[in-house]
């Protein structure tokens, strides 16, 4: 925002809130912002966008990342969002097949795949369906681990023991907030795991492939700038990611006894050692 000519404390005031991956907290924050009558709400993740949309149909809402904006009902279409919501897609649903192909390169004997995500949120339904379809195409047997709250994570790993060769974890807010717990349990279960975002790999996860989140937020600032200067969200098309990250953690690979193919290492945007 500063690069676009805005100075915090002088020409713009920013209120920060964190929902801690809890949908009920996201709803509380959205309601608070509606009461404050802020000029724009900026958020990330489909559940948080839905909470903001339910809190106000008047205040412009910009999402820095949503997995399936049209399928989740956030916008009418990418070209013509309609309403008070617009922003950037992160293609989390569309990239499921790519992630599974990368996982299979690391685990050549992969036959049984576990899928873990936050059950009950709209994007999870789309993402799980796409992941299952991609797994079927690759000839993989799928085991689902459904999470509704943080307390479900440890028991879910218990149910996966001996039933899966690798794990695919969705990048919803609940999973992201509890990433340390998930990573620790995945390593304890000796499950090679792929995630949506680099933050999981920086925290000790094996590998990730997905949109570059800092770049998404930088681009979201352009939407905020245009709206504050008079543009309507309904007239601002939803954009797709233009920068992706493929991150590998070699230290974790060694802990799991995995040999990462040299061809895969050369394709990685970053290798953590």
Tens of each residue's pLDDT in the chain, 273 residues: 999 999 999 999 999 999 887 778 999 999 999 999 999 999 998 889 999 999 999 999 999 998 889 988 999 999 999 999 999 998 877 888 999 999 999 998 999 999 999 887 777 777 888 899 999 999 999 999 989 999 999 999 999 999 999 999 998 888 989 999 999 999 999 999 999 999 999 999 999 999 999 999 999 999 999 999 999 999 999 999 999 999 999 999 999 999 999 999 999 999 999
Residue 80, Cα to own-chain centre: how many angstroms? 23
| Domains defined for the chain, CATH in brackets | 23-91+211-243 (3.40.50.2300), 96-210+245-272 (3.40.50.2300)
Q: Which of 52, 54, 134 is nearest to 96 (CA)?
A: 134
> What does the pLDDT read at residue 47?
85
Q: Is the pTM of this model over 0.85?
A: yes
Neighbours of 192 (CB within 10 A): 22
State the helix-helix crossing angle for 23-36 and 46-55, rounded to 10 degrees.
40
Beta bridge partners of 167: 114, 193
137 membership: H or E segment, kind and range: helix 122-137
Nearest to 255 by CA among 196, 200, 189: 189
> What pLDDT score was predicted for residue 67?
80
Alpha helix stretches (DSSP H) within 138-270: 153-160, 173-177, 179-188, 198-202, 213-228, 250-255, 262-267
Q: Looking at residue 46, what is its pLDDT?
A: 85
Task: Give the N- to C-terminal CA distance of the chain in Å, as an integer.
Answer: 34
Q: CA-to-CA distance for 12 and 77, rounded, in angstroms? A: 30
Report residue 47 CA to chain centroid gap: 11
Given a contact cutoff of 8 angstroms between Cβ atoms, the answer to whether 214 and 36 are in contact is no
d(CA 117, CA 172): 7
Map tokens 């809402």 to a residue.
Answer: 61
State residue 214's pLDDT score: 93
Q: Are 146 and 122 in contact (CB under 8 A)?
A: no
């Amino acid at each position: 925002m500063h690069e676009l000519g805005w100075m915090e404390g002088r020409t713009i005031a920013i209120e920060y809130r964190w929902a801690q991956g809890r949908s009920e907290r996201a709803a509380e924050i959205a309601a608070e912002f509606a009461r404050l009558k802020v000029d724009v709400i900026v958020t990330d993740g489909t559940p948080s966008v839905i909470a903001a949309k339910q809190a106000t149909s008047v205040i412009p809402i910009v999402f820095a990342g949503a997995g399936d904006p049209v399928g989740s009902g956030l916008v009418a279409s990418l070209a013509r969002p309609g309403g008070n919501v617009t922003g950037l897609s992160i293609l989390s649903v569309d990239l499921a097949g790519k992630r599974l192909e990368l996982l299979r390169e690391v685990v050549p004997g992969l036959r049984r795949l576990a899928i873990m995500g936050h059950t009950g949120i709209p994007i999870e339904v789309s993402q799980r369906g796409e992941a299952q379809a991609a797994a079927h195409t690759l000839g993989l047997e799928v085991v689902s681990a459904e999470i509704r709250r943080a307390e479900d994570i440890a028991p879910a790993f218990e149910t996966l023991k001996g039933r899966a060769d690798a794990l695919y974890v969705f990048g919803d807010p609940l999973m992201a907030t509890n990433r340390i717990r998930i990573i620790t349990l995945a390593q304890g279960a000796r499950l090679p795991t792929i995630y949506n975002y680099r933050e999981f790999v920086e925290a000790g996860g094996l590998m990730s492939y997905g949109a570059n989140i800092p770049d998404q937020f930088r681009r979201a600032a352009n939407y905020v700038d245009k709206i504050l200067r008079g543009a309507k969200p309904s007239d601002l098309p939803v954009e797709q990611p233009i920068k992706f990250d493929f991150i590998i953690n070699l230290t974790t690979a060694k802990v799991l006894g995995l040999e990462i193919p040299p061809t895969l290492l050369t394709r990685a945007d970053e290798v953590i050692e």
